[in-house]
Structure 1
Amino acid sequence: MTNKITTNGKGAAYHGVPAEDDYGYAQAIKIGSMIFVSGQFSHDDMGAMIAPAALDDTGKPTNFSMMAEQMRVTYANAAKILAQFGATLDNVVEETLYVLDVDAAFAVAGKVRKEAYAKVRPQCASNLIGVSRLAFPDQLIEIVFKAVLPRA
């Protein structure tokens, strides 16, 4: 999908998934050199969860072994959104990871982040926060990004 600059100077980017219309939001907003990326998660081009967590009878995740794969796809989805503004993960200055299981996230985050950013020490501030619930029952992680483009 492409982004469009509005009269108020904001640009909006979308994946083109149903939730954007259902919930009513943009995946990212650019104003000036700043890009604010909404919470990204592990979904395909149609919005279906990739590597969903197994759920118990009450709809709660029972296994966090899919954390790494969900994290990889989440970074890939963020990269697609940033690309709509001519940015990459190198432009990210801050990320916040919201996870259902902090231990499972810490076990894989270092390796996955280094792969995503292609650096031993990604050059962005990072927060990892444990939460009790995310938007979808089989979702284990959601990541929010802030990026800055170089001044033209």
Structure 2
Amino acid sequence: MAHTETFDVPWEKDYGYAQAVKHGDTIYLSGQVSHDGPDLVAPAPLDEAGRPADSGNTGEQMRQAYANAATLLARFGASLADVVEEVVYVLDIDAAMAVAGPVRKAAYGREDPPVASTIVTTPRLAFPELLVEIRVVARV
């Protein structure tokens, strides 16, 4: 039987999903973004068209997304040390690659995280102010 977890934020009900699902020994996390409760953390400033005006907050958003992933994993008695795969979605690959190494290594607590990782660009995320979304799979 699957066990689920949420952050009880409005967009979970609006879209209809769980933040995390544990099935057997595997924990699947939905894409984690930069938020603390219903508030976005380090939102990108938007231009007149409603698109991010710059990518300067990429690292801070990435740190918060990993922190949210760690919070969810802890609810299952797991941690980022149990992550086996991640997909990092970014709006600006150059900005992301400039900060991803140090941010990821700090999040995982080691210089050589044993995590299969893919980083891809996307034209937009769930909210216009978002620059990063991180999906992980953990095994316990």
TM-score, normalization: structure 2? 0.98
1:67 Cα shift?
0.3
Which of 21, 29, 34 is the aligned partner of 1:42? 34
Percent identity over the alignment? 52
Report the secondary structure of 2:130's partner residue. Answer: coil
Q: Distance in 1 between matches of 2:86 and 2:53?
A: 26
Which of 5, 13, 30 is the aligned partner of 2:5? 13
Matches within 5 A, 1:116-135: 116-135=107-126
1:17 Cα shift?
1.1
> Runs of 5+ in structure 1 lacking a partner?
1-8
How many residue pairs get aligned? The number is 140
Which of 69, 72, 80 is the aligned partner of 1:78? 69
Match of 1:28 in 2: 20
Report the secondary structure of 2:3's partner residue. Answer: strand
Which residue identity is paired with 1:99? V
Pick the structure with greater CA Rg.
Answer: 1
1:15 Cα shift?
1.1
Report the secondary structure of 1:65's partner residue. Answer: coil
Which residue identity is paired with 1:14? T
Report the secondary structure of 1:21's partner residue. Answer: helix
Which residue identity is paired with 1:30? K
1:62 Cα shift?
1.1
TM-score, normalization: structure 1? 0.91
Report the secondary structure of 1:69's partner residue. Answer: helix
Q: Distance in 2 between matches of 1:137 and 1:24?
A: 20
Which of 70, 90, 94 is the aligned partner of 1:99? 90
Q: Distance in 1 between matches of 2:14 and 2:98?
A: 34
1:23 Cα shift?
1.1
Matched, 1:88 2:79: yes
CA RMSD of aligned residues (A): 0.6
1:58 Cα shift?
0.3
Cα deviation 1:74-117 (Å, max 9, x = unaligned): 00000001111111000000000000000000000000001000
Q: Distance in 2 between matches of 1:19 and 1:84?
A: 20
1:16 Cα shift?
1.5
> Runs of 5+ in structure 2 lacking a partner?
none
Which residue identity is paired with 1:85? F
